[in-house]
Amino acid sequence: MPRFLKRGMDAGAIEEADAKVRATVEGILSDIKARGDEAVRELSDKFDKWSPPSFRLSPQDIEHAIGQVASRDLEDIKFAQAQVRNFDRKQRETMTDLEVETLPGVVLGHRHIPVNSIGCYVPGGRYPMVASAHMSIVTAKVAGVPRIIACAPPFRGGPHPAIVAAMHFGGADEIYVLGGVQAVAMMALGTGSVGAVDMIVGPGNAYVAEAKRQLYGRVGIDLLAGPTETLIIADDSVDGEICATDLLGQAEHGPTSPAVLITNSEKLARATMSEVERLLKILPTADAAGKAWADYGEVIVCTDEAEMITEADRIASEHVQVMTRDPDVFLNGMRNYGSLFLGPRTNVAYGDKVIGTNHTLPTKKNARFTGGLWVGKFMKTCTYQKVLTDEASAMVGEYCSRLCMLEGFSGHAEQANVRVRRYGRRNVPYAQAAE
């Protein structure tokens, strides 16, 4: 039976906070749907003190922003995008179109078709999330999406130069300096000045995630990527310092970011908790990380690896860092996770920023039923069918006729019957099953 040395906030308190977010977002979406650009401008001014003549950057604005980025930073951005692009291309190569003759004269197939337009949200409130531009825009470009627009909040009174550079080099067709729910709604619903997209992608805070949830169905979404979650699975092959460092390294995203340790070593558990307290005294982002650890941090001691796997699958965390003697035990045994980081030589920050896998991943236990953003999320797998011979059409038609009448669909049955009559030259009574 797992033992909790530390628990996070009560589930009831979390639900109460979520309810307030839902109500706020619902009101904002309703306002933007009704008043379009006017509402977007008012909300941007209210929340970000940002109301420029145009939220969209001109080519000259983009060039000016890029000119403010140090050459080393531009090189690093391009290196990271090259890693993401390379892995995306390798993933795309696994998605092959299909055409197969399943019966004599019957051909079935599918094609992978990119969506027509997407809106990429790049967070930039507490931190300018430059890497999020790579993960959405570059990946969509590799998928072949024809129209890619991107939004990021203003940073210190204007566009963040490095985010603009990442958006531009990633392949964005339109770049807007706009944040929060108003940005997501503008892209999803469309306004007088901006055409609506077919899909919204990218991480964000609780309000952005809720906006995507409420807009789903009107547009597609990648997944519900809310506040960052991290789970560390460790045994006594590592020490408390590395565990504490990796926990706080993700907790600094914000005060609602869960950070959990699962271990089969109580000694390591207590050493990690002690190291967390030590590091919080020197970590520059301790205000956010400390609050997250206090309210959402958990330490769970399990009896063995099997129980660790069960607990990890129950939590279904966005990021799972495995630092055990044999990390492949968890690679082969776990089923619910956004992405795995195997062994002490890797870590979540590598995945977040540069190694090439996508950092937009499922949160709030959504890893039970979906993986993260990848090139396939931007593709529609659409089937088709061809019947090439009279004999095949008549043969399939007889089965179809009987199955339709079994369900009471006489109109469906006639679609089959008319072909049995024409191509099979059989006299099937109207609205009856073919014998």
Which residues carry out catalysis? 318-319
Query: 284: which residues sit within 8 A by CB, 6+ positions away?
Result: none
Closest Cα to residue 296, out of 332, 259, 337? 259
DSSP of 139-167: HHHHHT-SEEEEEE--SSSS--HHHHHHH
DSSP of 324-336: SS-THHHHHH---
Angle (CA) 157 163 167, round 5°? 130
State how far the Cα of 342 lies from the Cα of 337, in Å rounded to an integer.
Answer: 13
DSSP state letter for 57: P
Give the residue carrying structure tokens 């300018």.
128
Token reading at 279: 């590091």
Query: 427: which residues sit within 8 A by CB, 6+ positions away?
Result: 421
State how far the Cα of 277 lies from the Cα of 244, in Å rounded to an integer.
Answer: 9
Query: 257: which residues sit within 8 A by CB, 6+ positions away?
Result: 227, 228, 229, 230, 250, 251, 288, 292, 296
State how far the Cα of 177 lies from the Cα of 151, in Å rounded to an integer.
Answer: 6
Give the residue carrying structure tokens 């470009």.
141
DSSP state letter for 196: P
Q: Which residues pair with 428 in a beta bridge?
A: none
Query: 64: which residues sit within 8 A by CB, 6+ positions away?
Result: none
Is 386 within 8 Å of 104 (Cβ atoms)? Answer: no
Token reading at 189: 């619903």
Closest Cα to residue 143, out of 383, 318, 373? 373
Query: 319: which residues sit within 8 A by CB, 6+ positions away?
Result: 228, 229, 230, 231, 250, 337, 338, 339, 341, 348, 351, 361
Is 382 within 8 Å of 110 (Cβ atoms)? Answer: yes
